[in-house]
Every structure is written in C-alpha cells, then in structure tokens.
Amino acid sequence: MEADDLNAPLGQTKKKSRLPKLPVATPQILAALLGLVGVVVVGWAAFVNDPLGGEPVVVVATKSAGPAADGAAGDGLEHSHHDGDPGKAAKAAADKAAEPPPGSKTINIIDGSSGKTKEIVIPGPSSEKPAGKQSAAEPKLLETSRHGAIPKIGADGTKPYAVYARPRNLPASLNDMPRIALIVGGMGISASGTAEAFDKLPAPVTFALAPYATDVAKLAERARGEDHEVLLQAPMEPFDYPDNDPGPQTLLTSVTAEQNIDRLQWLMSRIQGYVGIVSYMGARFTATEQALSPVLNETAKRGLIFVDSGASSRSVASQIAGSQNLPFAKADIILDAVPTAAEIDRALTRLEMMARDGGTAVGFATAQPGTIARIGAWAAKVEKRGFVLVPISMVAIKAKST
C-alpha cells in the first residue's frame, strides 16, 4: 500500500545531495589565489630583466653621422626613448641654451615703485679681468661684530678704501685735465634702473648701494667685479623725520652716540668691499655736529671714505672730516633733482663748469632709467670735451691731500 503523500511528514523522502563537501571555505580559496598572483609578480620582477616595466618601445635604425661640413654638431634635438616629440626636445634644447654661464649667479631685484621683479645675471670669474682686480672682500680687512662682518684697518695699517679703490691709470696728457666723479645711488631699489646702470655706465662711475636692496651683497660683488667703486648708503635723519623716513636703522639726532654706532655697524655688515659711506637724506643729521661727529670718527676708524650727498647746505661734515683725518668728498650738484631729460642735461653742463673752475667736481644721481639714459649718453662724450671721469676715491683722496 502506497504511503499517503499528503499526510507524510515533509522532508523524510528528500534525496541527499551527492556533491562532496569542500574541506575549505570560499574566502580562503580567494585569499590563496591572490597570494599566488603576488608570488608571480614578485618572481617576474626579480628574474626578468625589463627596466621599462612593459612600456611600449619603438626601435629605429639610425646611421651615425660624421662631422658636418660646416662644423655643426647636429640639429641640437635630443629624443628620449619614449617621448618621440620633437617639440619637447626642441624646448629642452632651448632651455639648455638659455642657462646662465657656469659660475654665474642670478639675482632678483624688486622695483620699489612698481613692484615688478627683474633678474640680473652676475657673471662668474673671468680670465679677462685685469690682474689684481678681485671682487671678493679681503678677510684681513674684516672684523666680526654682533651684526656680522664689518670693515677694519688691517694689522699692517692697510685701509679698506685703498684696497677696494679702482683708480684710473691716466696718461700724462690727461693728468692736468678737470676731473669729474659721478655717484649713482639707490642701486638695487629700481630693477630697471639698476640693470641699465650696469649696462650703460662706464667703470669710473661709482655705485652707491642701498642697504635694503634685494641681494645687495651680490650686487656689490658684481659692481666690484666690473671695476666700479662701491659706496654704502647710510640713511640719516632728514628735517621732516619721521614723516619722511629713510628706513630701518636710520641714524638719528635723538639717540645716543652708542646707539648710532650700533646702527652704523648694522649697515656696514650688509655688504663688503666698499670704499666708503655716503649719506642718504640726512639734512638734519649732517647739520648736527654732536650726532655726526661720532659717526665720522667710526668711519675714519674703519679706514673708509665719507661722502656727503649734498642734502643740506648746512652740513658740517667737511669740518669734522678735516679734524679727524678722514678722506672726504661732497656732491656739488644733484643731477636729477628735477628728473626730466632737459634738466638733467643742464645739471651735467653745470657740473662741467664746476670742474673747469675748481679742477674737480662731484655729481650725485639716482638709479632711475631716465637718469641713467642721460648720464650714459653724456659719459660717452665727456672726455672728448676735455674732462676726465674718475671714481670717487681719486677725488676724495686728492681733496684730503690739498
């Protein structure tokens, strides 16, 4: 008798599966497969020599070219094994050609008026540089202060201004001609003006460097390397201070002599290799003997020249310098007091008249493009008119000796 399917308990007649039960779970299998793949990759990297890692490679047969008839070494394009882009190779060649010469230095100068920057390349040592004209400062003429290295007179009595001077060797025919010294101040403040001064002005023009200029030490090095004498501009108190503020570490009539000497030494540590100090602004300071005298004494103690930029007709710098045996010079005229081409030309004409009347004359100007253009054109012809352009040391030392 067949069983009643409707009343029979469910699941009692269900057939058992014939598939064998696996001894490991599925996640374990996947982990084993991943481990096997890792072993294969490591083994491939260890034993197969393929430095390009499977990168596509194109092999092109080439012929080695002999020297060209015109001496050219080729087209200057270097292709990498995977680039194959002539445009990129040409750009790389152009970038390489634009690199500065070996040993040179590139500095950025920020234009104080516009904020724009300009790169100036300072060339490295050149075999064409005259013997004995080195751009580096003499270690024996440096003293360590709390601000850094500052000038000092050497143990043998050598003075920095004598070592760093760039005197001209004048032929006998020029010895008796009127001498003109030009000082261009504010070097390093205007990027365009600084660049043009280096490009357009001859070596006898003296460069006065602002202590706040970007890379001022490298500018001084370049100036000396191109045979310009260098002065350090020292900010001094004007009559309308602090409304008209020359900048940090300004020498003031309201502080002690010790404080002013400390400020002066900070300024002195900004660059090396300069022949002297030139006042920047300073109408009140140079007219105040009590404040100015210790500063000029320190300048003489350091073996430097002092130059009065001519900011005040009431300056007592010349009297103090004479009593302290300090080489001294004063600007007779500020060439760009009115910064137009016509007025600068008139000022240069007056400077010639002063030199003809007195035997020497000193002009002061700022490193602005318009000023540099006029001075450069004038300097190219001044000696044909019977004048000799000389660095400031030749005028200052001569004034002291007479």
Between residues 311 and 82, which one has the greater pLDDT?
311
Domains defined for the chain, CATH in brackets: 141-401 (3.20.20.370)
Q: What percent of the chain has pLDDT over 70?
A: 68
Parallel, antiparallel or unpaired: strands 117-122 and 105-110:
antiparallel
Q: What is the pLDDT of residue 136?
A: 73
Q: What is the pLDDT of residue 219?
A: 95
| Mean pLDDT along residues 105-110 | 60
Q: Look at 1-10, 279-288, 339-348 and tell me which has the smallest mean pLDDT.
A: 1-10
**Which tokens belong to 46?**
């260890």
138-170 residue pLDDT tens: 899 999 999 999 999 999 999 999 999 999 998
Q: How far apart are CA 190 and CA 368, in angstroms?
A: 7
91-104 residue pLDDT tens: 555 555 555 555 55
Nearest to 231 by CA among 216, 248, 253, 246: 216
Contact 287, 315 (CB under 8 A): yes
18-62 residue pLDDT tens: 555 555 566 777 777 777 777 776 666 666 665 555 555 555 555
Residue 251 is classified by DSSP as B
| Mean pLDDT along residues 111-124 | 58
Q: Which residues contact 193 (CB under 8 A, 6 or more apart)?
A: 186, 366, 367, 368, 369, 371, 372
